[in-house]
Structure 1
């Protein structure tokens, strides 16, 4: 892939329908603070292109759990990360995007929310199942243009309706609902609504947490999540991958203007609905007693746009949902089949892996649908805050493991595993406490345990990262050093080592099979040994094979059913000097833009 579909796909994978609904809702409820996540992501996607991706390319891996298996040896860390990644997809990605997309359709068409979920999944499955990664990336690139066109159009209508920039600045502070719970701050806009860096003790987004606590889970998402990294690994060269990261970073400037500010305008225009502060009234308006701020973006679409453009925005939201879900389904299927299923069935054929991946996606969808009610009721009805809080409980230990594995050669398997295990145990305890003791509404007394009441989730992210880091360092130093085969071309300092076969880091099953075949560096073709011929399939079966992405030879000939040989990984880090100069100059420009906008709104 060239740089532009990679960059567009990186952006589209991040800006799903949950992002539209959640970011606009956060702006309506709390101001521009949540945009810090977007601008933090600008820095992290650049770290991916310039620091992490050269290591991944040099190692020749195809999934992130596979990188950990090669870097540390053994299989337990690889399996741990694979299973955890799938849980994160359920908690913070699939269920959130399905809920957000269904919420939009429910408001637009007055459909039942679960009927809307079924419709969205059916449409998404049509090309996800048949297409594979290439189809997903190119579709994402096209949908990015649709999303941006629709979002910028709605932004123009929103500013025209509210009366311009000055009217937004003045009107937001006065957007107080007429019906509120007496003697409370419910429905009153924050005084620091137009600042990113807020009070370190009493605010909803304390500035030390924004700088440090926000960056650590963001590093996992942009630098070691399969959904994101898989797209960068599909680039033609390292330079194209860097160009994709730059394009995604530049595009991430736009959500502030195209999503966040329209959400704030929605509060001004429809204060009593979007900013409702009475639980019973909120339940009547949007069916959610904890708040209706997540309806901010959909309300703008339905009220401001004429019929034709309203249809365009419906297409935008569905495109956003499909971009996000197809990316997640593709990556989740890859992780489950390659890192979990093949660990237990090392001789699984290509056909078996394909079927298992499809069935697993269906299971993933069912579990995610069942999780939707939890999403709906969490974090005071603010979808974006739910996403970020769950991320800070599960993602920091993974970020630390990848960071140490990539940049500290002394990190070994025992240190990585126990750091991950202890860090996730602590994070899961905090997450369970969050579900058991939900945040009180603004008029209720906070009777939660102190670890919830006084430790903000961004501060907890810092604490969790420190705990994981200490365990990794102590255990690694107390145990044996990693072997040379676990370091060569697998860290930043060894990425230029000569390419050599890494037989010693293969799993036990692979080693036995490679030895029996007398080969050291080639993949197997299991189907050819077990099937000698295939009959001409019926039209129904041919359609099924095509839908599943599997080619079968039609013939009465005795042709074996042999899947195509996998492509050899491109491990080259060479870059053309002129192109390298161009991307490095753009790196400096992009970092300068990021520093300016963060400083201006800080």
Structure 2
């Protein structure tokens, strides 16, 4: 991609404005730990919602999800739209519940409900997840963008001539990874959550506007002078396999999409409801994803729920998540539809014959669309949107990871008498070390041929289900004690490891019905969640009940006392109920449109 000087102007103007916001938001003296780790609990609803979604959008979306849409179709929008179900539980049950507990971190909450062992296990797994599933792949994807856009591969000698001569080490990508990590993590380390959250408002604005520009320009290109609606019709026609080449491609590659299928089997790329043997997103995701994944990701995943903890009050927390719901509804038109458009453009790599090569090349879809469709200056603007996606995720995860290390490890086990100023200092030091570890892991990922979306989803469904199971069971049933929860989580994580071993080794080449069912990672998550739930419920029935101190107010659901009706808005136009209901209805409408009518 060759950039005009106006593109550089747009890109660095965005970066300068972002840095100014980060500086202004974080310049106050952080003398109280809550100021650094929870933004002084001062965030209004539009910042809560923006920061929540900005932390969620990353290179997994702009590279991985768009690339996955090229290969799998509209179904990859399912994780975005089905999240509204998880947000519903968060808005109506978990926000009032968690805010009542008045904690900094979710491991801290799990200690109060269960025991210190559960806090340690969850904090340790969270650190692992944040590094391997959140930051490292995002930094790796960001490195791909920076290298491609700014030409570091040429600058560092890995051009076409060098590749033909046998060069292997991509120093340009390594430098890009280092650059993106440092620039993304700087303000999170310096200014804490307040800097991160207020920068995210600008980031989400740039990402939404920039992303829609690519979608619109792509449809105009497909329309070939006949307009956007003509382009949309051609996109649907190709993705439904109504063109000869598209039908042939689907017939040849369905075996890579539906486990156990044969060449020529039917596959509808324009449906969000797919059979249970779908490789990435079977229909079970709609029905059960909240239980095995959504609960962990939305309610007890520290780098997401930390924004809710930082809200001004109950209303701003709830309305923030309603705002986040509408952003989630919009996201597939930014990070899925471009993939459908690119498929309809019939890119050469689709006919390489190798699914692995297609998966690798599909990661570059968004960059290619920007380079081919977008005029001068807007290219820099859209690269800024991509940078914003990287920056916001890395900053948020880095802040939450340093929070967990400081509160759940350093303060808990190393220096219980640490002052609040020392907590802030330790948090900054921890953030720096964690960032360096993520840089190393991102470099390791450069040697793997992966689709970022698939890699991240695999990690989510490996880590989240056991904790979703014990959290839900522990909130609903007082009998479950800390020992029950620890045994169930260890058993669930062990089963996750066993399943991965089966999938990658004994069942790798199997086309049996059992292999076809167990290979989709969504089904793996459901199996582990169901198993962990069964273990913890059986343990709860046969072991002594939990101590009274572990089931007090704010630790177990008490529908008679919980403030389910508070913080709902005083006027009809700012009613949480009204806007949540509208968002939920839109989710159902999208599901029907892309499963029945298209």
TM bucket normalised to smaller = 0.7 to 0.9
Matching residue of 1:363: 433
What are the residue-to-residue correspondences of 1:237-316 with 2, within 5 Å? 237-269=313-345, 271-273=347-349, 275-279=350-354, 291-316=360-385
Per-residue CA deviations over 1:467-495 (Å, capped at 9, x if unaligned) read 10111112122222223322222245337
Deviates more, 1:369-378 or 1:22-31: 369-378
Residues 238, 347 of structure 1: alpha-carbon distance in 2 compared, 3 angstrom cutoff: same
What are the residue-to-residue correspondences of 1:72-471 with 2, within 5 Å? 72=114, 74-111=115-152, 112-163=172-223, 164-172=231-239, 173=241, 174=243, 191-201=267-277, 204-213=280-289, 215-269=291-345, 271-273=347-349, 275-279=350-354, 291-345=360-414, 346-372=416-442, 375=445, 381-431=450-500, 446=509, 454-455=517-518, 456-471=520-535
Residues 178, 167 of structure 1: alpha-carbon distance in 2 compared, 3 angstrom cutoff: closer
In the alignment, structure 1 residue 37 sits paired with structure 2 residue 79? yes
What are the residue-to-residue correspondences of 1:505-524 with 2, within 5 Å? none
The answer on whether the counterparts of 1:44 and 1:218 sit within 8 Å (CA) in structure 2 is yes
Per-residue CA deviations over 1:186-241 (Å, capped at 9, x if unaligned) read 89997311011112346653213442246521221111111111101111111111
Residues 497, 254 of structure 1: alpha-carbon distance in 2 compared, 3 angstrom cutoff: closer
The answer on whether the counterparts of 1:18 and 1:99 sit within 8 Å (CA) in structure 2 is no
The answer on whether the counterparts of 2:53 and 2:327 sit within 8 Å (CA) in structure 1 is yes
Cα offset, 1:66, TM superposition: 0.5
**Local SS of the residue matching 1:236:** coil
Cα offset, 1:94, TM superposition: 0.6
In structure 1, distance between residues paired with 2:471 and 2:291: 14
Residues 70, 253 of structure 1: alpha-carbon distance in 2 compared, 3 angstrom cutoff: same
Per-residue CA deviations over 1:502-552 (Å, capped at 9, x if unaligned) read xxxxxxxxxxxxxxxxxxxxxxxxxxxxxxxxxxxxxxxxxxxxxxxxxxx
**Local SS of the residue matching 2:331:** helix
Residue 588 (structure 1) aligned to one of 581, 585, 595: 581
* Unmatched 5+ stretches in structure 1: 440-445, 499-570
Cα offset, 1:184, TM superposition: 6.9
Residues 586, 202 of structure 1: alpha-carbon distance in 2 compared, 3 angstrom cutoff: closer
The answer on whether the counterparts of 1:175 and 1:268 sit within 8 Å (CA) in structure 2 is no
Q: Which has the higher contact order (CA 8 A, sep 6+)?
A: 2
Per-residue CA deviations over 1:439-469 (Å, capped at 9, x if unaligned) read 6xxxxxx259997554132222121111101
* Unmatched 5+ stretches in structure 2: 1-42, 153-171, 224-230, 257-262
In the alignment, structure 1 residue 71 sits paired with structure 2 residue 147? no
Cα offset, 1:76, TM superposition: 0.5
In structure 1, distance between residues paired with 2:213 and 2:313: 35
In structure 2, distance between residues paired with 1:227 and 1:216: 18
The answer on whether the counterparts of 1:408 and 1:491 sit within 8 Å (CA) in structure 2 is no
**Local SS of the residue matching 1:132:** helix
In structure 1, distance between residues paired with 2:336 and 2:303: 24
In structure 1, distance between residues paired with 2:218 and 2:461: 33
Decide which structure has the larger Cα Rg and report it.
1
In structure 2, distance between residues paired with 1:202 and 1:496: 42
In structure 2, distance between residues paired with 1:10 and 1:52: 16
How many residue pairs get aligned? The number is 515
Cα offset, 1:35, TM superposition: 0.5
The answer on whether the counterparts of 2:495 and 2:528 sit within 8 Å (CA) in structure 1 is yes
Residues 291, 70 of structure 1: alpha-carbon distance in 2 compared, 3 angstrom cutoff: same
The answer on whether the counterparts of 2:465 and 2:525 sit within 8 Å (CA) in structure 1 is yes
